[in-house]
Amino acid sequence: MNTTQARRVRDLVYETFAREGRAPSIAELARTTDSSVEDIRSVLHSLADDHALVMNGDGDAVRMAHPFTSAPMAFVVTPSDGHDDRRWWGGCAWDSFGISAALHLEVRVDTACPQCGAHISFRTGPDTPPPSDLAVRFPRPAREWWDDVVATCTMIRMFCDRSHAEQWTEANAPGSGYIADARSVWRLAGPWYGDRLHPDFQPHSREHNQGLLDDCGLTGPFWRLP
C-alpha cells in the first residue's frame, strides 16, 4: 500500500467528518485523490485493518473514524456557539467527549439515560468538565473492544448517575461491565483524541494509550489493552 496515499485518504476522511459531520464516499475520495474506486476501497480496508477507521458491514463505506461516526447512534454533539451549525453523531459517551477534544471545541452533548429515559443535555469542552453526577458504563473489557468495535461503542452509554447505571446493569447484564464517572472519561478523551486532526498525527502506541488509561485512574485487568 502506498503509505502517502493512505495518509491522504485517512486525513480526508477526518477532515470531512470534522467539517460536515459525515464520511466521504469511496467515489468522492477517488475523485479528490485522482485514484480509482478500487484503489480507494483497498486503501480504506488497509486502514481498517490498522484500526485507523471502521468500514460498514458491507465493506463499501466508512462507518466510523473515531471519535466520529457516520450513522446515528445514542449521542448528538453540536457546537455551543449558536452561529456554528455543524452536527455530529457521537458513537458513545467517550467519543462524544472525543469530538470536542479533537475539534478543540466547546459543545453540547444530548443523549438519554438507558435506565430511566431522561434527557441528558450538558455543555462540555476541552476545559469544561461534564456534570459530576453523570456516569458512563463500559460493556466489555479493553482487550475485547475491537472484537466488534461498533457494538462496543453502541453500549458505552451515559447514565443520570451511578445508581442508574448499577440498576441497568443488574437488570440487563448482571456482573458485567465497568461503571466510571463521566469526568474520568472526559479526562481520558482529551489526550486520547486531542491530536486526531493534527497534520502530524501519528497513531499512539499501546504503551502510550495504556498510560493514558492509568493516568485517569482506569486501572486493573478490565483496562488492560491487548
Query: What residue ranges of the chain are covered by domains with CATH 3.30.450.410?
Result: 75-223
> Has residue 75 got a pLDDT over 90?
yes
Average pLDDT of every residue of the chain: 97
> Has residue 224 got a pLDDT over 70?
yes
Helix boundaries (H) for the chain: 3-20, 26-33, 37-49, 93-103, 149-154, 162-172, 182-193, 206-215
> Has residue 188 got a pLDDT over 70?
yes
CA distance 202 to 148: 24
CATH class of 3-63: mainly alpha
- Cβ pair 96, 58 in contact under 8 A: no
Query: What residue ranges of the chain are covered by domains with CATH 1.10.10.10?
Result: 3-63
pTM score? 0.96
> Has residue 1 got a pLDDT over 80?
no
Per-residue pLDDT at 125: 98
Query: pLDDT tens-digit profile of 36-48?
Result: 999 999 999 999 9
CA distance 159 to 161: 5
The order of strands in the sheet holding 54-55 is 54-55, 62-65, 68-69, 88-90, 75-79, 107-112, 119-124
CA distance 220 to 105: 32
Query: pLDDT tens-digit profile of 148-159?
Result: 999 999 999 999
Per-residue pLDDT at 40: 98
Topology at the third CATH level for domain 75-223: Beta-Lactamase (3.30.450)
